[in-house]
Structure 1
Amino acid sequence: MRSFFPSVLPRGWTRRALVPLITLTAAMAAGTSLGAQPASVTAGIRLAAESWPSQGSPVPSVHASTIAEVRDTLVVAWFGGAYESAPNVEIWLSRRASRDDRAAWTQPVAVANGVQPDGRRFPTWNPVLDAPGGARLVLYYKVGPNPRDWWGMRTDSNDGGHTWSTPQRLPAGVYGPIKNKLVRLRDGTLVSGSSTEGALPANPWRVHFERSEDDGVTWQRVSPARSTRDIDAIQPTLLQHSDGQLQALVRTRGPGVVHTTFSTNGGRTWSALTPTALPNPDAGIDAVTLRDGRHVLVLNPVAKDRTPLSLVTSRDGLAWQPLLTLEDGPGEYSYPAIVQAGDGRVHVVYTWRRERIRHVTVLVP
């Protein structure tokens, strides 16, 4: 198997540490089952519950879900309509008690659309929920005819997602979290992973980050250092290391593997993108840093197609080991989002064949 060694390693890492990551890639490519993994990795890992937040949705196509917990309530949002990019695509939302796996999801309701003051209507895209604390929720999303020409929007809720403020357009050049949740640093700074998709025919994909030191009132846009060659990459997901470093893992087009970049100063500057050995079939990923410092990543661990969908884990963001396969049948299982709830359980939502949004609860001892 081809080896994808980064040209520059993060502080404290060695090339020897890359071996487990390449082993993971080889195991997944060969279809190694979860049962064949070391007991120390998989012991106690189990799927505790599953449900369908989009149940009862009046539209045929749903995609790109996001999840947050607010006051012991799970809130899930996604975009849905006749088909992706149709003018009637809106942002839909459903809620459920987070600690009661038997609780029903509320009937999905539309909370944002792309209707313009002049009567024109554009599709909405890629909602991202943020839970700043208390009963507050912030919903970021995009509006526009396509990802090359969309713009960022924001709406706020002070009652756990029951009601929402009048949506506000983000400043020019600021898109908000483009697919995955933002992170809060110890000093309160918000760091959001974002990206752009350029004009046709070249359609370059470029990653950037957006920082706010005033709780999202103003934003500073920051790009990674230039690589030796331009990498088509979008949709960063952020990890927070115990030494204060930030790490982003990003979706790519062309190389067939996830790329990564690091910041040692709170997201003010970032290293050049370098390849990992994690496969990526040009599909969305998401990750979460657990309270014990471990990282859990959900991805399609293959170079082609959006199945299977799996969880992998790492202590250092580099050496990844398989945890659990969520889907391995035919079809598309994609665009995951992952959070850890207050009770320590991990929640994942994702697109199920473009027809439904599936939610699973995972116990990660």
Structure 2
Amino acid sequence: MQFTPVLAPRADDPARTEAFIPTPAVQNHAATLHELPDGTLLATWFGGTQEGVPDISVHLARLEPGADRWSDAQVLSDDPTRSEQNPLLWTAPDGALWLLWTAQLGGNQDTAIVRRRISRDGGRSWGPITTLLDTPGLFIRAPIVVARDGAWLLPVWRCTKPEGGAWTGDLDTSSVMVSEDAGATWVEHPVPDSLGAVHMAIVDAGEDYVAFFRSRRADFVQVARSADGRAWSAPAPLALPNNNSSVCAARLASGRIALVCNHSSRQDATGRRLSLYDDIEGGEEEAQVSEGAFWGAPRAPLTLALSEDGGRTFPHRRNLEEGDGFCMTNNSKDKLNREFSYPSVIQGRDGRLHIAFTFWRQAIKHVTLHEEWAL
């Protein structure tokens, strides 16, 4: 397949435009999108040979206002000892652009810390790399949300290693890190009964805050609510399947909530992996199949779902990509993976939705459409 960087209408669906973001890496995964005040669209993701390998680094590309082609990728991290993953972008109230990401030792997510770089010229140049959160095992996926009282809410989850074995995801729990001093200090607020609910994505739903979670058990998308962003209800299943893969959500100008996820679960699986990292050196020897986290459920289709009741129900659903979603390996050199996963969705200033996601672990795809596409 040819991965073209030029945005163009899809031949069989002209209501959407799409392009692949240029990258020098063999494997590309976990993209996030962010729009600057001037309308420039930024995409960041991690790339290298394979997730968990120390050559995995953070990449950034730009789509300038009025342009129809993504820029070449810029590498923004390069720690030869750690796999640097799950980057996200966020513009602080003072106008500074933050880049956050995780940095772990090999396939051991329980060793991850959260790093940060700051740009004051829209991502054209960056300050030094610093550590934002140094507690081992903290992971991020969704950006900071500014609460109505001005506090900063950063959703995280804790990757906990079981006694006598490698990290498997079985013991992961979610929290919200809250800063009331512009990011200088952070206080952790655990989400109660959140075992197996991760990748927390917070949305201000108007009446309250709602958060959507990936389920390690590969059953259903989980949802929790909060009045202040600090005290949360326990995650409960939503009537949307989940395959132990990332979800993303955004509140739209219309008041609807857009949720992008894989409409599949362990019920659709034809096989099961030992762990996320069972295909990197040493991973298979340490991993054991457990009754907790389920790995290997198909990562397809990729679905855009819309809610009109604050995220309680999602009656409007339409698939962005369809396929078998094979993800029994993360080895991109052999090009066996066929997942569509790890979506990021934002609404641009012109009202269009921008969605980026992993395409077969080989590329990051960018799709643009109006929300009416899914109605």
Please indicate the TM-score interval, normalised by the length of the shorter structure.
0.7 to 0.9
Corresponding position of 1:153? 115
Q: Where do 4+ consecutive residues of structure 1 move more than 4 Å?
A: 174-177
Change (3 A) 1:176 1:212: farther
Contact 2:102/2:139 (<8 A) preserved: no
Alignment of 1:103-118 (within 5 A): 103-115=68-80
Corresponding position of 1:311? 304
Contact 2:111/2:136 (<8 A) preserved: no
Change (3 A) 1:291 1:184: farther
- AA aligned to 1:238 is I
Give 1:344 deviation, angstroms.
1.5
Looking at structure 2, the residues matched to 60 and 153 of structure 1 have their Cα atoms a distance apart, in angstroms, of 24
Corresponding position of 1:52? 20
Matched, 1:223 2:190: yes
Looking at structure 1, the residues matched to 111 and 27 of structure 2 have their Cα atoms a distance apart, in angstroms, of 22
- AA aligned to 1:141 is W
Cα deviation 1:239-297 (Å, max 9, x = unaligned):
21122x11111011225111111111x21211112122210011100000112321000
Identity of aligned residues (%): 29
Change (3 A) 1:192 1:103: same
Q: How many equivalent residue pairs? A: 307
Matched, 1:136 2:96: yes
Matched, 1:247 2:247: no
Corresponding position of 1:24? none
Looking at structure 2, the residues matched to 221 and 298 of structure 1 have their Cα atoms a distance apart, in angstroms, of 27
Looking at structure 2, the residues matched to 232 and 335 of structure 1 have their Cα atoms a distance apart, in angstroms, of 17
Corresponding position of 1:16? none
Contact 2:259/2:304 (<8 A) preserved: yes
Give 1:206 deviation, angstroms.
0.5
Alignment of 1:178-327 (within 5 A): 178-200=140-162, 201=165, 203-226=170-193, 231-243=195-207, 245-254=208-217, 256-264=219-227, 266-303=228-265, 304-315=297-308, 316-327=310-321
Contact 1:90/1:113 (<8 A) preserved: yes
Contact 2:239/2:313 (<8 A) preserved: no
Looking at structure 2, the residues matched to 155 and 336 of structure 1 have their Cα atoms a distance apart, in angstroms, of 23
Looking at structure 2, the residues matched to 351 and 259 of structure 1 have their Cα atoms a distance apart, in angstroms, of 22
Change (3 A) 1:255 1:77: closer
Contact 2:109/2:159 (<8 A) preserved: yes
Unaligned ranges ≥5, structure 2: 1-12, 266-296, 325-337
- Bigger relative contact order, structure 1 or 2 (CA pairs below 8 A, ≥6 apart): 1
Corresponding position of 1:11? none
Q: 1:127 aligns with which of 83, 87, 97?
A: 87
Corresponding position of 2:367? 360
Looking at structure 1, the residues matched to 178 and 340 of structure 2 have their Cα atoms a distance apart, in angstroms, of 31
Looking at structure 1, the residues matched to 158 and 262 of structure 2 have their Cα atoms a distance apart, in angstroms, of 22
Structure 1, 150-159 or 246-255: larger mean CA deviation: 246-255
- AA aligned to 1:51 is A
Looking at structure 1, the residues matched to 136 and 179 of structure 2 have their Cα atoms a distance apart, in angstroms, of 11
Structure 1, 72-81 or 325-334: larger mean CA deviation: 325-334
- AA aligned to 1:108 is A
- AA aligned to 2:361 is R
Corresponding position of 2:32? 66
Change (3 A) 1:74 1:344: same
Contact 1:306/1:333 (<8 A) preserved: yes
Contact 2:223/2:236 (<8 A) preserved: yes
RMSD (Å), alpha carbons: 2.0
Contact 1:154/1:168 (<8 A) preserved: yes
Corresponding position of 2:347? 340
SS of the counterpart of 1:112?
A: coil
Looking at structure 2, the residues matched to 83 and 188 of structure 1 have their Cα atoms a distance apart, in angstroms, of 39
Cα deviation 1:133-181 (Å, max 9, x = unaligned):
6863100001111311110101101111111110110233398871112
Looking at structure 2, the residues matched to 177 and 205 of structure 1 have their Cα atoms a distance apart, in angstroms, of 10
Looking at structure 1, the residues matched to 318 and 179 of structure 2 have their Cα atoms a distance apart, in angstroms, of 35
